[in-house]
Amino acid sequence: MTIMMMTIDVIILIVIEVCCAGRYYYSFSSKGMRSQLQETFHHSVSSSSSSSGSKVGSTSSVTVRFFWETSHCRHRARFNLLLLDHNEYLLEDLSAYCFPVPSDATISSASAAIKDALKIQGRLKLCSKSLVFEPTDVHYPVMKFPYKQMSSDVTQLSPKISSSSQQLSVELRGFFTFTSSAYFELKEGNKVGPYKMVEGSVSNSSSSTFRLVFALVHADVDQFMVKIEQLRHIVTLSQRQGSIVAYQLLKPFIEAAQLWTQRFDVSNLVNFHETLQRSGSVAALKIRPLTTHPGSLMVTDTRVYFQPSQLNNVGDATVLHFELTKVRRIFRRRYLLRQVGLEFLLIDGSSHLFVLDTTAIRNDLYTLLLSLQGLPSSVHTDVKTIESLTLKWQRREISNFEYLMSLNDEADRSVNDLTQYPVSCSTSRSMPCLHNCT
């Protein structure tokens, strides 16, 4: 019984670690579970030591740490596109420091309050509707500053260092400061939970706003301040004139972030003996549930490459590539009622959905892929009809799940697109499953 309980606890930890690797974070009360696992592992070590002939008292204590406390997850990025508002874009990701100053500090007093020992290292995300600071230390929350809540212009700051002993330990390109009437705190302690809105006190006018001081490590602070003011102006216009006008003003920022992906970087090739099948890359969007990743597609004689752009690049969106021999099916999909999608189903069960600009570009790329010799012959011959699928299911050659997913594939549905997500039917005993699908 003890061995069984130990096995269950180990499985729980493995599942938690797998969830961590997939960037799915869960928040739960860990105090009781920690003590229980601590006791179980201590008993496990004691039992193994006693069975090997050693003394129980000589066993060392085992410290149980959850995945958000381990070193490999401590530096894992907590920011993702789901933290942004609807139709909000991530434009730039910069290395920066945050310097805590009194909330009611003026510009001059904030300059004197900057201390090297209090600086917080992190990443500063320039987004189309907000400024997000992600501290490296997970004990600090991720702070999101909406532009519409900023109560003052962004001002450059010069720190006043009184003595040589207080010199900054790192070389910074420039300081800037602004005040905000409210901001959001997210993922404190790397735990998923409701957003915490921090607002200034209304009763005391001197502390009704918060002053924030940031310093950029590599980027030019003057250009960065200009971009923030331009984005603030766009947000103000969107509240007055609508989102269409705001998008036209935001378009230069989006095009600048996508500029470097217009040409495929051949250094990303896995094998330099590969031959490019197109003279230039194809602009595309990689579709995932609730998020889109702009980039460019390139096809070689052995692989398909997707090079992500700087826009909406959260840091882990590296160059995606997969071999043509691993492709099981290629589907022409519709996306938002337009025939511009192309989805690759791989042998391992994964899939990748890309959206092109026009139907003609999609069809040309589809024809090019089918003409490649590196593509398995099963892609051409494995064209299933509804009658053949039904016959295989009736003969029990495929399971109910495989039959339903094949029907969804033929119905132009994909797990990558929430607007065309696969549907399944009821499994009630009183209603046969496959006769009640809608």
Please check whether the two domains, 81-161+169-255 and 260-377, share a CATH topology: yes
Q: Where are the alpha helices (DSSP H) in 205-242?
A: 221-241
Give 260-377's CATH code, choosing from 2.60.120.590, 3.40.640.10, 2.30.29.30, 3.30.2290.10: 2.30.29.30
Q: Give the mean pLDDT of 14-29.
A: 39
> Could you report the per-residue pLDDT of 268-291, keeping only the tens digit for each?
899 989 999 998 889 999 998 888
The CA-atom distances, in angstroms, between 42 and each of 67, 175, 271, 355, 420 are 19, 51, 50, 53, 50
Q: How far apart are CA 183 and CA 199, in angstroms?
A: 7
Res 427: pLDDT: 54
Q: Say if residues 142 and 133 touch (Cβ distance below 8 Å).
A: yes
Question: For helices 243-257 and 221-241, what crossing angle results, to 10°?
Answer: 150
Give the relative orientation of helices 2-21 and 31-51 as an angle to the nearest 10 degrees.
Answer: 130
* Per-residue pLDDT, 61: 45
Mean pLDDT score of the chain, rounded to an integer? 78
Say yes or no to pLDDT of 234 above 80: yes
Contact by Cβ (8 Å): 149, 131: no
Q: Is the pLDDT of residue 429 over 70?
A: no
**173 touches 219 (CB < 8 A):** yes
CA 376 vs CA 60, 270, 298, 347: distances in Å: 55, 20, 19, 11
- What's the CA gap between 164 and 144, in Å, rounded? 34
The count of residues in the chain is: 438
pLDDT, residue 287, reads 92
pLDDT at 64: 47
Look at the block and give the residue holding tokens 């990743």. 293
For residues 182 and 195, the answer to whether their CB atoms sit within 8 Å is no
The CATH label, of 3.40.50.300, 1.10.3720.10, 3.40.50.2300, 2.30.29.30, for the domain at 81-161+169-255 is 2.30.29.30
Token pair 């590539």 in the structure block, residue: 321
Q: What integer is the mean pLDDT of 285-312?
A: 90
* pLDDT grade for 29, boundaries at 50, 70 and 90: very low
Torsion of CA 319, 322, 327, 329, to 10 degrees: 0
> What integer is the mean pLDDT of 311-328?
84
**AA identity, residue 59:** T
Burial of residue 427 (CB within 10 Å: 0-12, 13-18, 19+) is exposed
Whole-number Å distance between alpha carbons of 320 and 311: 16
Give residue-wise pLDDT tens across range 61-97.
444 444 444 444 444 578 988 899 988 999 999 999 9
Query: What was the pLDDT predicted at 251?
Result: 87
* Residue 83, CA atoms < 13 Å, CB-side half-sphere: 29
pLDDT class of 34 with cuts at 50, 70, 90? very low
- Integer CA distances (angstroms), 192 to 26, 169, 186, 357, in order: 6, 33, 8, 36
Strands 303-308 and 90-99: unpaired
CA distances from 56 to 2, 47, 69, 268 (A): 17, 8, 28, 55
Over pLDDT 70: what percentage of the chain?
A: 71
pLDDT digits over 140-199, tens only? 999 999 999 998 888 888 776 544 445 566 667 688 999 999 999 999 888 888 889 988
Q: Sheet with 142-146: list strands edge to edge.
A: 155-157, 174-180, 210-216, 90-99, 120-127, 130-135, 142-146, 182-186, 196-199
**Residue 83 burial by CB count (10 A; 0-12/13-18/19+): exposed, middle or buried?**
buried
- In this prediction, residue 100 has a pLDDT band, given cuts at 50, 70 and 90, of confident
Structure confidence at residue 59 (pLDDT):
42
CB environment 231-265: b (16+ within 10 A), e (fewer):
bbebbeebeeeeeeebeebbeebbeebbeebeebe
Q: Please give the pLDDT value at position 253.
A: 87
On whether the CB atoms of residues 138 and 190 are closer than 8 A, the answer is yes
pLDDT at 410: 86
Contacts of 161 (CB under 8 A, 6+ apart): 167, 168
The residues, ordered by sequence, that sit 6+ positions from 88 with a Cβ below 8 Å of its Cβ are 127, 128, 129, 130
The b-or-e profile of 130-162 (16+ CB within 10 A means b, else e) is: bbbbbbeebebbbbbbbbebbeeebeebebeee
For the chain, the domains span 2-74, 81-161+169-255, 260-377, 386-435
> Closest Cα partner for 132 from 68, 85, 165, 175?
85
Q: Convert the pLDDT of each residue in 377-405 to its tens digit.
A: 878 765 667 888 899 999 999 999 889 98
- Least confident segment among 124-128, 231-235, 242-246, 413-417: 242-246
**pLDDT surpasses 70 at 11:** no
pLDDT higher for 242 or 2? 242
